[in-house]
A and B are shown apart, each in its own frame.
Chain A
């Protein structure tokens, strides 16, 4: 029985000047699974995300989303196709409220343009209502429903990250890329994050996360890919990867041969 692959990369490489950040990486992400990408610092994980979302143009290789070649598709179109992401540095819109951030998340799912907005046609009112409802839905999903009018940057870090995640969810994606969602969270928040990620998977969204927190990854991920110095050095279930000598060596630096 063939698996359904929502995301594939074939021989994906990215070179910056003299530095090879991503080196011929092959990925096969199964639809509906939670996949984790791990590796020591500087392994190229965020660069990989940037290649998948289109922020960096590819140096070599291909990115395929549901079988469709993405290489020439600009980032904003990939969002419309159903790929969402969060950032390591959160990147909330500090000049807007929590609700406004969320409503911006609905941008790819709404359609009225400048002309309709200028004249405030009925279509605008209808879509705005819909946008607000959806925004509230996802806000409540992550538990931030009471903070609606607050300025986004006034929230504590843990809640900011939740908001960023909720905002990405509001684009109603099929695939979501989480870049270090656990960084800066305490133990309780990390547990809630795990629950949330599982709930996201239940909603039918495929999750790929980059993480450094091993217990978090091992408890959550159904498939793990390990990168080191831009190359994929191992992949498998959490248990398999944990025992792989190459992985241990990569994390500990040098080791025995």
Chain B
């Protein structure tokens, strides 16, 4: 009985979110935040993948921006320099990024803890150096511009309204798919790995293969987000994918809650809004605040801000219900 009520609540919440998102771009509602929300949608896609990777398998990625960047650059290069259809370019980028993740996955997951973190850090930096140095392809430190918009037939996703719905279509699809995975035996296997790798193996779970698959999934998500980014702002440059970018992604995941899917929206949104606001008022204080957030959240609420808020909400609701039951 209790579980059914709980899931009714979550369907309600998702429905409310849906309506909220549809209304945003209208001027009488929150229209001026359309562009901001486009970025929130894009970063949510990356964050969900990272949340699953870090939260469900307990593996750390300090180089997620590498996947984000390869998706962006491959799409940009294919569609701008070689005139490939943008949709196809996006697909190819995702496939290549996924393959890349697969190749590095098995060797990387032989490492644990600190060493794994360092390896991801190193890989992220190598990719960034490549983005900057392979001038003939990537345009070097100044990047590339003039990347085409996505289009279906004659319908071009050029205005911010159209791009908004495009991005959130993908974002919600990704969220739903992730939700489905988490609620399946794959999700149980992932959580089992986080709980006890030894016990998971004894139950027939191929631990390393799962870790690699989740890495590939997170890489594909990040690549998709990267493609959507360049088809949105029509430019690409390496600063977007440096070490700090990977750190910001970790911040988003941490705030959203490392084991939470829908929390990713909160994480990406909160971080984005925070960084825009801070940038506006305090110049580059955003970096300092990120540092502080990381430290404080990991010390006091390692399960993530969003999940913590959910807990508080649950406790209040129970207290409320109890009060009602008392005569």
Chain A positions near chain B (C-beta within 8 angstroms)? 53, 55, 74-77, 79-80, 84-85, 87, 91-96, 100, 103-108, 110, 112-114, 117-120, 124, 127-128, 131, 149, 167-168, 171
Contact = CB atoms under 8 A, between A and B. Distances in A.
B198 A107 contact: no
A149 B202 contact: no
Interface in B210-240: 213, 217
B291 interface: no
B206 interface: yes
A171 B200 CA distance: 12
B203 A128 contact: no
Given A96-B195, A100-B188, A118 B180 contact: yes
B204 interface: yes
A75 B202 contact: yes
Instruction: Name, among A100, A114, A124, the residue most crowded by chain B CB atoms within 10 Å (CB to CB).
Output: A114
How many B residues are at the interface, by size bracket? 20 to 34
A95 B195 contact: yes
A104 B189 contact: yes
Given A76-B207, A93-B192, A96-B192, A103 B177 contact: no
B184 A117 contact: yes
A128 to B, nearest CB: 7
A136 to B, nearest CB: 14
A14 B38 CA distance: 58
B35 to A, nearest CB: 30
A87 B203 contact: no
Given A96-B188, A113-B186, A119 B180 contact: yes
B206 A76 contact: yes
Given A93-B192, A93-B195, A114-B213, A79 B180 contact: no
B188 A103 contact: yes
B196 A93 contact: yes
A93 B195 CA distance: 5
B185 interface: yes
Contacts of A93: 191-192, 195-196, 199-200
30 contacts: A75-B201, A76-B203, A76-B204, A77-B206, A80-B204, A92-B199, A93-B199, A93-B200, A95-B195, A96-B191, A96-B192, A96-B195, A100-B188, A100-B191, A104-B189, A104-B192, A104-B200, A105-B203, A107-B189, A114-B213, A117-B181, A117-B184, A117-B187, A118-B177, A118-B180, A118-B181, A120-B184, A124-B184, A167-B203, A168-B202
Nearest to B194: A95
Contacts of A75: 201-202
Contacts of B188: 96, 100, 103-104, 107
B3 interface: yes
A91 B196 CA distance: 6
Contacts of B198: 55, 87, 91
> Nearest 4 CB-CB pairs, A to B?
A108-B204, A93-B195, A117-B184, A79-B204
Main secondary structure of the interface of B (DSSP, over half): helix
A104 B181 contact: no
Interface of B: 2-3, 177, 180-181, 184-189, 191-192, 194-196, 198-207, 213, 217, 259
A114 B181 CA distance: 7
A124 B202 CA distance: 23
A70 to B, nearest CB: 14
Contacts of B199: 87, 91-93
B184 A171 contact: no
Contacts of B185: 103-104, 106-107, 110, 112, 117, 127-128, 131
Instruction: Name, among A76, A110, A171, the residue most crowded by chain B CB atoms within 10 Å (CB to CB).
Output: A76
A219 B41 CA distance: 64
A104 B181 CA distance: 14
Given A107-B204, A171-B204, A114 B186 contact: yes
A114 to B, nearest CB: 6
Contacts of A114: 181, 186, 213, 217
Given A95-B194, A104-B189, A79 B203 contact: yes
A84 B188 CA distance: 18
Contacts of A127: 185
Nearest to B197: A91
Contacts of B259: 95
Contacts of A79: 201-204
B94 to A, nearest CB: 14
Contacts of B177: 118-119
Contacts of B203: 76, 79, 104-105, 107-108, 167-168, 171
Contact of A76 (B181, B196, B201): B201
Contact of B206 (A55, A74, A118, A171): A74
A165 to B, nearest CB: 12
B2 to A, nearest CB: 7
Nearest to A75: B201
